[in-house]
Structures are given as C-alpha cells and as structure tokens.
Structure 1
C-alpha cells in the first residue's frame, strides 16, 4: 500500500547487477529437509505482530523451518532490497509494492510462483481480487502473491464535530457537504482546520479525479488523464481547499507538520487516510479516543483508490523449498485470517475481511470493505515511480499557489506520456 515513494535506479541496473552477484551464492536449490531459517522482510512495525503470528503458525506445521521476520522502515527498505539484488543477498521472502514490481520482475530477480499456486492444495489465485493478481503478474509469470488490499476513508474528529454541533459524516456526503462542514469546523486562529488536503495522490486527489469522472492513465496506459477537464477540475478543487477556501493548511505548513500530525493532535477535523493507517489511529491515545471513519464524499460518482501489497520470493534464495512453502502458506485462508485478526491489514483472501473489521471494532472499518464496490486500482505502468515523480513535481507550484492545474497540465501530459511511450 502507498505511504510515500522514492526514485530508484533503472530495472536494468538492478537486473544486471543481480545476475553478477547471484553467480557466487552457491545455487538456490537447497531443500527444507534439515533445520532451515528463512528471512521475511517487511517495512511496517505495526504489522510485525501479525506477520510473526503467521510465521509461528507456519513453523508449527513445518518443523525444521524457522521464519525470521525482519522490519526495515520504508525509507530504507527499497535501498536495502536493491543492494541485496545487486549482491545476490536478498531476503528469502519479502513484501512487494505495486510501484516496484515492474522493476523487480525483470532480470530473474524474483521467483516465478505460478506453479506453486497452480499445484497448491491450501491456496488458489481465485481467492484474490483479479486486479491484484494481474498487478503482480508479467508475461504469464506470477511474481507476487496478493497479501492485502486497501481503500481510502474519510476520517473525522468526533469531538470537534460535537463541539460545532454538526452531524457526523455518512454515505450521503458530497463535495459540497464536505466543504460546507469544513468551513464550519475551520478555526485557523486556534490552529484547527476543517480538512487536511496535502499534495498526496493515493490518499488525496486521485480519489477526487475518479469521483469527477476523470482518470490518471488511460486504460491502454498511453495517455495522461491531465488531458481531461474532469481530471484538471478535480485536482484544482482539491488544491483549492487550501488555496481558495482556506479550510486546509498550506503546503508549507504540511512541510513542517504532516497531515497525520495535524490529525493526531486535534488540529484537523477531517483527513483522508488509507485503511493501512488504522493501526496508527488505534495506537495513538488521542485518535483512539476521538475519531472515526466514514466513506469518501461523492462527486459525480462514488470512488476510491485501492491497492495492495504482495509477497515475493528471491530467485537467489538458498532455501528455495522452504521459501516456496512459506509463500504458499502466506496466501492461505489460515494465514490471511491471522493477518486480519492481528490488525495488520485487510486480507486479500476473499471472505476473510471481517477479521480486520473485528480487530478494530472501535472504528467503522466496514467502510473500507464496502467501498471496494466503487474502487479503482491505483494507476500503474512499468515506470510508475518515474511518471508519478513528473506529476508531483509539476503540481508543487499549484499547491504552493503559484500556478493553476490547467497551466501545468501540458507539462504533466508531455512528461507522463513520454515515459509511457518509452515503455512500449
């Protein structure tokens, strides 16, 4: 799921370096016949208990195989993984993200898991959202098993709503309702803002683009949605929550305090956060006692972005059999239920979502699951991180109040479509 992103070197660099590094690792056909320890690399400390619960259940079923869950924060995760690919020393099993799968699925860096799941008696690809299976598949090869999915919710501060005498948000809210309530809740003199609208794609303006009938990339991944008035108007409306209406902090203020910081200190009445942030809300004393979540407001239609992580296996693993057994178990109903019960994430396995809902009964978690009927997969291509970078850089002067979205749209179109054209 997307919290933030960074640029990495080209896939060809990773692939070629990996091949050189892998030559000296002694092969990857080791079996699990003796005592074996495999590493499972993740980036979210809050999800660690859930992943360790899954590892423990797997170890009970597979004596002789130990799973070591290792946590590397997101800011260092991809640097470490790339270094491992170059040196032939990647973790055995690890989380994969939609922004990075195209890069790591080339050059023999990841193990093809097609046969593992085709022959599995405990898991089937039919149990996962088709969009996520396709996302982690390339040229008929499967390089990642869906782990979870996420949608975006409209979190709100009940205490601030009560103080203002306003009804809590519900499924009837529109953009107009959002703005009207944000204006009533807004109290910048006392450091409180009606809504938090930072320059954020997945948790922010992407949702409004689809709600307005626009798109980010065309279905054939050749055109930028910034050719469309619907896309331009949606992003401008979102940016204007700060620029025109003053109900959101400015981008310079967000540079000093994140939207989460504003929200968890009672200085933001409404914020847009993904389901993966639920643990952060529950573990913070203030938000645990004062907030809840509602569906996103509707524009021309209801819409939310959805995405999901996958579990992948290194092609250079020295413990191939044990790693494949573990990644197979990770996609089982048992493992998915453990993930949800421990409040890690919404399980990707169909029919197990209620475990996550029950894990956070203090919040209206059903919102995230129900919104899947109006969900659009997070836009992606082979070079997602590159064109996202172009888009973000072009929008910075918009969110700083220096230009309009219409003025920067041609720059976004040219940059994004140039990258897409080179993918073909």
Structure 2
C-alpha cells in the first residue's frame, strides 16, 4: 500500500537524488572576479520593500554580488518550491515556514548552516528565540535561521467603542470582559458584530486552549490535547461566541466575507489578528484611522501563540559561499533593523524587535513584543499539516452549532494520535 508516509519518504528520496545529480560539478562558487546573482524567494508582497532594502544594503557592502528578491504568492509558493527542488533549480535563499520545514529536512535539500553561524563574528544563535532555532533544526543541523517572530493581538474599533461608551480593552481584560463588551457592541440591525471568531487555529482558539491550561499536542508530541477537558472547554467557549451568544458572524457568513473584510468595513468591533497583519491595517484607510490593538483577553492565565519564519539556503546552490554570506547578513543587526524599520515583521534578533513598534506609531504594537513573555510556540510535529486538517474538519460541525466540542473530541484525539504514532 502506498501510504502518505511512504509518499513523503519517496519525495524526500527523489528530492535528495535530484539535488545530488544537480550538485555534481557545482561544488565551487563562481570566481570572485565574476558577478554573482542570488535569488531570494519570499511570499509576502507587503514585506517586499523591507526585503529589497536589505538586499540593497547587502549589495552595497558586497560588490559583485547581486540579489534578486522574487515574490511568489503563498498559494503558489510551496508548489513552485517543491517543483524547483525536484528539478534541482531551487532559489539560492528562501523563506521557510514551520508547517513545511519537516518536508524539506530530509534528502539533503537544505544546507546545514551550523558552521556558518558557529564561526560568525557578528551573529550568534543564542540571540534568537530558542524555540524557533529548535524548530528549524533537525538531527543536529541548522536548516534555517529565524527571520522574525509573531504573536496574536486583540484588534478593536475605537470608533465603535466610543459610540457605545465602552472603555478600550487593556491587559486586565478577561474572557468575561470580552463577552460582555461584545454583547454590548453587537448591533444586528446595523450588521455590526461585537467580535469576529472564525474557525481559525493560530489567530483563534489555539490561544485560548493554552490560556485555559490545555494544550494541542503534548510536549513529547505523542498525545492530542483533545483528551483534556481544559482543551475542549476552551474550544467550546470560542465557538460559542458565534453559535450560542451570536456576538460573532456564523461560519457561513465568514465564507462570504472574511474576518478581515468585516473588520475593515466597520462591521466587527473586535477581532483576533497576528502581528503580521499590522501593515494590512496601516495600509487600509478605514483601519488606519479607526482601530488599535490590545493584548489578548486572558483566561486562567495569559498566553499567545507565537511563530516565526526562517531563512534557508538550497543545498545545491551554485554559489554556496555567497548564499551563506547573504543569509548571515539577513540575520545581522543591520538587516534586522531594516526589517523592523520598514514594518515588514518583528525581527527575531534579540533587542531589535522594538524597531517594528517604531514603524507603526499609530498602533500600540508594543503589545506584540510584550506578549512574548507568555508566548507558546505554535504546535508542530513532523506532520503538522495532516493533523491540523483533521482538527479543522472535525470542528466544522462544532462551529456550525451541530455538535459540541466534547462530542468530536475523542475522534480528533484518536486520528491525531494515529498520525503522531506514524511519525
């Protein structure tokens, strides 16, 4: 039987073989007398200006090395990267995501950057969040260097709060405070909802699971948290914002209009969005004028999911020395400052993250960096996407009000644990 696991192994072997064949004869960089052009592949057009500023600074310090910043939308990015890996023509340097690192950690697809950073005089790995360094490492190899980190905030419409005479959310807010405010802010006749709570993990119910002393995946990555009452109760509380209390649109309504559409049209008083959405809020005329961001309301404790991207290098790059030099520069204080000052993302380098806050004086983005004190790394295993899909599918009837979280919890746990055991 050709299982998903065997398919993954076959892909890894295919990638490894194609890269080995493509790498033959490419072991040396081009002569330093020749101009070298590196491709830096990313997926976020909003971050392109910041990445281009970094590339320009690198080129200025390194005459003879050019960097082409190539933007491919998320929907096509991974298909294109997989295809280029199989064809032995990957970009030299590119963004890596926590959901995908396991697919590229086998088969000699990614360059081991351990020695590059062990010998670096400018950048040390202990200057980055330890969980992110671990996330992008495998079998003692460093396969990606943290580029940024993100946390989740409670975005709110100041105008709607002012009209209702309600004080803005702050660090003392609890789940009850959120619900009470949402009930007061909901205006069915005007089509305005107090809070936007779609079926969403990272920006939604996963945060509240950890706030309720539950978990999604156990630390040893063998058990599902859906066997715990704390996990199930948190999911139900979040789903009830829509199905019980009616302070959030239904999932059918979200199918027609995203939570961002609701929020940017003034039809949602509160919403949960990650720090990566800050530029989107700033670039929209309505939200730039009317909204701000506060810490997440807390349950039994405060907690927020955090995640982060990494910069990786193709094992078969024609220019290994130049590519390593560029990824080291990407991780440097100078490049991280450019990333923050351009408002691209929160720099992962210790002490530089505040530059992101300074890029958006109109918003209280300080809460994103402050919340790292209670940050929980986005749940991941070698098969993250598989068990996330199971979780999502099983929770659809819960968010439709057809079943309770308790009724589907055992099925989620059984199926997720089968995947974990298969790893």
TM-score by length of 2: 0.97
Q: Distance in 1 between matches of 2:331 and 2:415?
A: 38
CA deviation vs aligned residue, 1:176-235 (integer Å, no higher than 9, x gap): 000000000001221110000000000000000011110001110000000000000000
Structure 1 residue runs without a partner (length 5+): 1-6
Q: Distance in 2 between matches of 1:404 and 1:221?
A: 25
Shift of 1:99: 0.6
Q: Which residues of 2 match residues 50-129 of structure 1 at below 5 A?
A: 50-129=50-129
Q: Distance in 1 between matches of 2:209 and 2:345?
A: 25
Q: Distance in 2 between matches of 1:335 and 1:219?
A: 33
Are 1:298 and 2:321 matched, yes or no? Answer: no
Shift of 1:422: 1.0
Cα pair distance change 1:250/1:318, threshold 3 Å: same
Name the residue aligned to 2:233: 233
Q: Distance in 2 between matches of 1:35 and 1:347?
A: 30
Name the residue aligned to 1:140: 140
Name the residue aligned to 1:263: 263
Give the conservation status (yes or no) of the 8 Å contact 1:226–1:409. yes
Shift of 1:319: 1.3
Are 1:19 and 2:27 matched, yes or no? Answer: no
Q: Distance in 1 between matches of 2:6 and 2:90?
A: 17
CA deviation vs aligned residue, 1:317-361 (integer Å, no higher than 9, x gap): 111111111001111111101100000000000000111000001
Cα pair distance change 1:281/1:9, threshold 3 Å: farther
Are 1:29 and 2:28 matched, yes or no? Answer: yes
Name the residue aligned to 1:191: 191
Shift of 1:24: 3.7
Give the conservation status (yes or no) of the 8 Å contact 1:10–1:103. no
Name the residue aligned to 2:43: 43
Shift of 1:145: 0.2
Cα pair distance change 1:9/1:362, threshold 3 Å: farther
CA deviation vs aligned residue, 1:380-408 (integer Å, no higher than 9, x gap): 11111111111111111111111111011
Shift of 1:11: 3.6
Q: Distance in 1 between matches of 2:188 and 2:31?
A: 61
- SS at 2:305 equivalent: strand
Name the residue aligned to 2:340: 340
Q: Distance in 2 between matches of 1:314 and 1:180?
A: 51
Shift of 1:28: 4.2
TM-score by length of 1: 0.96
Give the conservation status (yes or no) of the 8 Å contact 1:194–1:268. yes
Q: Which residues of 2 match residues 183-222 of structure 1 at below 5 A?
A: 183-222=183-222
CA deviation vs aligned residue, 1:281-313 (integer Å, no higher than 9, x gap): 000111000000000001000110000000000
Name the residue aligned to 1:3: none
Give the conservation status (yes or no) of the 8 Å contact 1:93–1:313. yes
Shift of 1:10: 4.8
Shift of 1:19: 3.0
Cα pair distance change 1:183/1:264, threshold 3 Å: same
Name the residue aligned to 2:360: 360
Give the conservation status (yes or no) of the 8 Å contact 1:203–1:272. yes
Cα pair distance change 1:255/1:105, threshold 3 Å: same
Q: Distance in 2 between matches of 1:334 and 1:392?
A: 40
Shift of 1:95: 0.3
Give the conservation status (yes or no) of the 8 Å contact 1:14–1:82. no
Q: Distance in 2 between matches of 1:218 and 1:20?
A: 35
Moved more, 14-23 or 90-99: 14-23
Aligned length: 417
Q: Distance in 2 between matches of 1:268 and 1:71?
A: 31
Name the residue aligned to 2:224: 224
CA deviation vs aligned residue, 1:105-137 (integer Å, no higher than 9, x gap): 111010000000001112110110111100101
Q: Distance in 2 between matches of 1:89 and 1:270?
A: 45
Give the conservation status (yes or no) of the 8 Å contact 2:17–2:107. no
Give the conservation status (yes or no) of the 8 Å contact 1:31–1:322. no
Give the conservation status (yes or no) of the 8 Å contact 1:32–1:322. no
